[in-house]
Amino acid sequence: MDNRPIGFLDSGVGGLTVVKELMRQLPDEEVVYIGDSSRAPYGPRPAEQIRQFTWEMVKFLQSKNVKMIVFACNTATAVAWEEVKAALDIPVLGVILPGASAAIKATENGKIGIIGTAMTIKSDIYRQKVQLLSPNLAVTSLACPKFVPIVESNETSSSVAKKIVYETLKPLVGRVDTLILGCTHYPLLRPIIQNVMGQDVKLIDSGAECVRDISVLLNYFEINRERTQLYKAHSFFTTASSQAFDAIAENWLKMPVKSRTINL
Amino acid sequence: MDNRPIGFLDSGVGGLTVVKELMRQLPDEEVVYIGDSSRAPYGPRPAEQIRQFTWEMVKFLQSKNVKMIVFACNTATAVAWEEVKAALDIPVLGVILPGASAAIKATENGKIGIIGTAMTIKSDIYRQKVQLLSPNLAVTSLACPKFVPIVESNETSSSVAKKIVYETLKPLVGRVDTLILGCTHYPLLRPIIQNVMGQDVKLIDSGAECVRDISVLLNYFEINRERTQLYKAHSFFTTASSQAFDAIAENWLKMPVKSRTINL
């Protein structure tokens, strides 16, 4: 057993979709969250910069004495997960392999779509992982650079959002039976994405899939938190406005959130 | 990626229930199986002897160059899993934590039953793991020493089997809403157990639960087998009669099995 918190990092608020699923599946675990909203989106940045920003968040979480770090960010996972996992002596999870595995299981016609930030799509990592495990699957990738800014500005139900999602996803409609939401911000746009893609298309939430892996690794490394009356306090940190962060977080997590603004 | 096989060990044929689930969920993985039927059941043996026999199987599997070892045996897991896991540099999985976690999620009235061999029940490990994670759950344990011999002698549908299961489980009927099959042999008796306990009682197959963990750890350690046209050959070894092993294995796995008899 290990009663220390689990650390989550993301370029902004997208990783909250992973935290929400964690709170549902593993309600006894404590969370420390860092979102780098002042430098979001990560997607269009050069890999070396993403790598540096990710390490800054990793070091911040280490200073909070976390027992595990979750890259709740596909872009950071694509660029720096393997390197950080190899360097740390605590478990480090990414969101890409869980998402890729779930999509392979979900597809029936063998046609999988992947949407993500420019960097995630450019890295080609989802296609590589899917086809390494399952070479006969057809994988269509599409970068959606406008989605993260919509979510970070809390406009996920505006008519502009609907128009952007519709126009961006048009090339994929009717071409896949399974779509990986390869960015943790995208579940906040899920109703619109589902509507555009059609109700039959299976949407794979890479962050939610990752929580299953968190649960298994807590067991494997024997670091579950005890289900006791111990005081539990989640902590949220952002590099931008805490008010803006709290508005999105409270709406998404359905609980009061008081984040703190920090510099990395 | 790692195309080496996964090693499974059990006191006899019970671990085949884990292999069957593996073949369903992860059909591309290759299996090396060792069942120590000549010395089964392990349940009534002293812990030190079980520990020694388990290490003999572990060393046999290591000689077959496996990439991961699965303790497909609750008794061996209770006695030696932590020690072997700490000693080896490949992942070593047991069946107890996956089973305990699944039961915690499944129960609605907070009353969990656990059945297993004499050693598994005496070790008290299931109750400890369940209550460490969830102290408010009521756990009732029951040793079923007659079940493994029924399975090893391939008499799982005889009227004697029905009578023994009925008489053994009587103390649990009506007292739990979830029952952990804390021995990998027991799923072979599942229809009878379900009938005796009632259709509403959730039976937790510790071995099947464990396959979910295998999948996650293959991802985490990046040691999945490639889904290619590579030749794949499962190998089965037993310390007793290969004919007797094959009869049970072919009936359970629905595929031709040609095991080899070895001495450990």
pLDDT at A209 over 60: yes
Q: Identify the DSSP state of A198.
A: -
Report pLDDT for B172: 97
* Any domain includes B66: yes
Domain match, A54 and A64 both = yes
The pLDDT assigned to B25 comes to 86
Please write down the HEC assignment for all residues of B31-52: EEEEECHHHCCCCCCCHHHHHH
Residues B147 and B195 placed together within one structural domain of the fold = yes
Catalytically annotated residue among B32, B50, B73, B172: B73
A53 domain-assigned: yes
Average of per-residue pLDDT across A12-25: 92
Query: Is the CB of B220 less than 8 angstroms away from the CB of A132?
Result: no
Which of A97, A213, A224 is nearest residue B133 as measured by Cβ atoms? A224
Look at residue A159 in the predicted model and tell me its pLDDT: 94
- Is residue B1 situated within a structural domain? no
Which residues form the domain of B158? Answer: 96-207
- The whole-number pLDDT of residue B81 equals 95
Q: Using 50, 70 and 90 to split pLDDT, how confident is the model at A232?
A: confident
Position A228 scores a pLDDT of 66
Count of CB atoms situated within 10 Å of the CB of B92: 23
Is A180 found in the same domain as A240? no
Strand order in the sheet with B178-181: B138-143, B111-116, B178-181, B202-205
- pLDDT for A207: 87
**Inter-chain CB proximity A217 and B220 less than 8 Å:** yes
Task: Give the percent of chain A with pLDDT over 90.
Answer: 84
Do residues A109 and A198 both lie within one domain? yes
The residue-averaged pLDDT of A68-77 equals 95
* CA distances (Å), origin B88, targets A89, A143, B67, B81: 17, 42, 11, 11
Q: Please tell me whether residues A139 and A89 are part of one structural domain.
A: no
Residues B56 and B149 occupy one common structural domain: no
Do residues B163 and B33 both lie within one domain?
A: no
Domain boundary among A191, A206, A221: A206
Beta bridge partners of B142: B115
pLDDT mean for each 10 residues of chain B (264 residues) = 95 94 90 96 93 98 98 94 96 93 92 94 92 88 95 92 96 97 94 96 92 92 79 92 96 94 95
CB contact under 8 A, A97 and B220: yes
User: Is-catalytic flag, B144?
Assistant: no
B224 and A132 in contact by Cβ < 8 A?
yes
Q: How many CB pairs under 8 A join A and B?
A: 57
- Which chain A positions have a beta carbon within 8 Å of B28's beta carbon? 133
Q: What does B83-95 look like in DSSP terms, one character per residue?
A: HHHHH-SS-EE-S
Measured between CB atoms, which of B135, B219, B227 is closest to A97? B219
SS3 of chain A: helix, strand, coil, percent, to 5: 50, 15, 35
Confidence of residue A121 (pLDDT cuts 50, 70, 90): very high
CATH of the domain at B158: 3.40.50.1860
Q: Catalytic residue, from B183, B197, B204, B208: name it.
A: B183
Chain B residues in contact with A93 by the CB 8 A cut-off are: 220
For B168, the enclosing helix (H) or strand (E) is: helix B159-169
Q: Is A69 within 8 Å of A90 (Cβ atoms)?
A: yes
Q: Are residues A215 and A90 in the same domain?
A: yes
ipTM of the complex: 0.77
A205 — phi, psi (to 5°)?
Answer: -90, 100
Verify that A102 and A160 share a domain, yes or no. Answer: yes
Number of domains in chain A: 2
Substitution target in A2, A84, A133, A223 with the highest count of B β-carbons within 10 Å is A133
Instruction: State which of B207, B223, B252 marks the end of a domain.
Output: B207
Nearest chain B CA: its distance from A97 CA (Å): 6
Residues B20 and B120 in one domain: no
Q: Is A42 annotated as a binding residue?
A: yes
Q: Would you say residue A1 lies in a domain?
A: no
Strands of the A138-143 sheet, one edge to the other: A138-143, A111-116, A178-181, A202-205
- Write the DSSP symbol of residue B6: E
Give CA–CA dist A105/B216, Å, rounded: 13
Bigger pLDDT: B69 or A208? Answer: B69
Token pair, residue B1, equals: 């990626």
The pLDDT assigned to A148 comes to 94
Q: Strand, helix or coil at B114?
A: strand
Residue A57 counted as domain residue: yes
Strand (E) positions, B117-153? Answer: 138-143
A73 part of a folded domain: yes
Residue B43 lies in a domain: yes
Q: Is B226's CB within 8 Å of A97's CB?
A: no
Shared domain for A24 and A64, answered yes or no, is yes
Residue A171, domain member (yes or no): yes
**Any A CB within 8 A of B128 CB:** no
A136 with A187, same domain: the answer is: yes
Alpha-carbon torsion, ordered B103, B104, B109, B111, to 10 deg? 70
Query: What is the average pLDDT across A157-167?
Result: 95
**Looking at residues A104-131, what average pLDDT do you find?**
93
* Statement: residue A229 has pLDDT above 60: no
